[in-house]
Amino acid sequence: MKALLLVLIVVAAIALAEWLPKWRLRRAVQGHFPDQFVGILEKNIPVYRKMAVQEQQQLQYLIKQFLHQKEFYGCGGLDITDEIRVTIAGLACLLLLNRLPRVYPELHSILVYPSAFVASSTEQDEGGVVTHSRESLLGESWGDGRVVLSWDDVQRGTQNFTDGHNVVLHEFAHQLDEESGRANGAPILGSRLSYPGWEAVLSREFASLRSDVLHHHETVLDEYGATDPAEFFAVATETFFEMPVQLAEHHPELFKELQRYYQVEPRDWL
């Protein structure tokens, strides 16, 4: 009897451990979206007012899930406020509209600095020479479930949503990219049939941007996108959401691939 009772207790504990997080999440996403949060979105995400009501409601739902599941940490003396949390969550979830309800499942922490932060890096070339460097960064997406952001630069992105530069969109595009196993410019597309077209278009556009940068030609896409395919995807994402008319005009095939992936029409939000 004691052995049976012990087994029942263990089974009940396992069932409770599985049920409780789901119940807490369900309660969080079904709760009221505070009016002050709406005010933050209207102030810091300019396209929010232009979105259809269904899109606004969907974004609010995703934000509630994001805020429930992710932890924010203030670094360098920064106090985390509702404005910081809702602004970052709102921009990050903008990339998830009309797609599978996966809210960055591998992400658990967002570290926020007051301004640009200094990071150390180590690189080894083909000859085995190791180089140590320190550089000032606006944001980084790490493969261990963390994103690091500069709040000053997040705010700059919210104040000008038409210049193709937004550190939150950029770093969370990297998070989507990394869900496929590594950041290589090919996120999970949902169908194997989508990959040939995606690879052909993005490879061609990446090569074209590298050529434009090399020859000092003016480009719609930021030059940083010529760094590697992962950075190209992140830069293209920023441009898609902030400069959709220009991207569609000058890079129609790239625009269509991103539109199929993100499942939104950002030109409707202008």
In Å, how far from its chain's centre is CA 40?
19
Tell me whether residue 187 is in a domain: yes
Tell me the pLDDT band of 182, cut-offs 50, 70 and 90: confident
Tell me whether residue 58 is in a domain: yes
- Structure confidence at residue 151 (pLDDT): 97
Tell me whether residue 221 is in a domain: yes
Q: What is the mean pLDDT of the chain?
A: 88
User: Region 26-48: what's the mean pLDDT?
Assistant: 87
CA torsion 30-31-36-42 (nearest 10°) is 0
Q: Quick one: residue 21, left, alpha or beta (phi over 0 = left, psi -120 to 50 = alpha)?
A: alpha
Instruction: Look at residue 82 and tell me whether its pLDDT is greater than 80.
Output: yes
* Cβ atoms within 10 Å, residue 49: 11
Nearest to 248 by CA among 230, 269, 235, 266: 266
- Structure confidence at residue 31 (pLDDT): 74
**DSSP class of residue 150?**
E
* Cβ atoms within 10 Å, residue 260: 13
Tell me whether residue 15 is in a domain: no
- Structure confidence at residue 22 (pLDDT): 53
**Integer Cα distance of 203 and 41 in angstroms:** 35
- Structure confidence at residue 11 (pLDDT): 47
Percent of the chain at pLDDT > 90 equals 74
- Structure confidence at residue 269 (pLDDT): 97
- Please state the domain count of the chain: 1
Tell me whether residue 25 is in a domain: no
Nearest to 231 by CA among 149, 146, 174, 167: 174
Check if the beta carbon of residue 250 is closer than 8 Å to that of residue 232: no
**Integer Cα distance of 120 and 131 in angstroms:** 11
Instruction: Look at residue 79 and tell me whether its pLDDT is greater than 90.
Output: yes
**Integer Cα distance of 40 and 175 in angstroms:** 24
- Structure confidence at residue 16 (pLDDT): 44
- Structure confidence at residue 5 (pLDDT): 58
Instruction: Look at residue 154 and tell me whether its pLDDT is greater than 60.
Output: yes
Instruction: Look at residue 19 and tell me whether its pLDDT is greater than 60.
Output: no
- Structure confidence at residue 173 (pLDDT): 97
Instruction: Look at residue 2 and tell me whether its pLDDT is greater than 90.
Output: no
Instruction: Look at residue 124 and tell me whether its pLDDT is greater than 50.
Output: no
User: Region 117-142: what's the mean pLDDT?
Assistant: 61
Instruction: Look at residue 10 and tell me whether its pLDDT is greater than 50.
Output: no
Instruction: Look at residue 132 and tell me whether its pLDDT is greater than 50.
Output: no
Tell me whether residue 27 is in a domain: no
Token pair of 128 as six digits: 């085995």
Tell me whether residue 247 is in a domain: yes
User: Region 26-32: what's the mean pLDDT?
Assistant: 66
Q: Higher model confidence: residue 152 or residue 11?
A: 152
Tell me the pLDDT band of 14, cut-offs 50, 70 and 90: low
Residue 249, domain CATH: 3.40.390.10
Q: In what order do the strands lie in the sheet with 109-113?
A: 71-74, 109-113, 146-150, 139-142
- Structure confidence at residue 4 (pLDDT): 59
Instruction: Look at residue 29 and tell me whether its pLDDT is greater than 70.
Output: no
**DSSP class of residue 120?**
E
Tell me whether residue 87 is in a domain: yes
Instruction: Look at residue 249 and tell me whether its pLDDT is greater than 70.
Output: yes
- Structure confidence at residue 133 (pLDDT): 46
With b for 16 or more beta-carbon neighbours within 10 A and e for fewer, the 81-102 pattern comes to eebbbbbbbbbbbbbbbeeeee
The parent domain of residue 261 ranges over 33-123+131-269
User: Region 194-223: what's the mean pLDDT?
Assistant: 97
The beta strand positions in 93-159, using DSSP E, are: 109-113, 117-124, 130-137, 139-142, 146-150
Instruction: Look at residue 130 and tell me whether its pLDDT is greater than 50.
Output: no
Nearest to 222 by CA among 167, 178, 181: 167
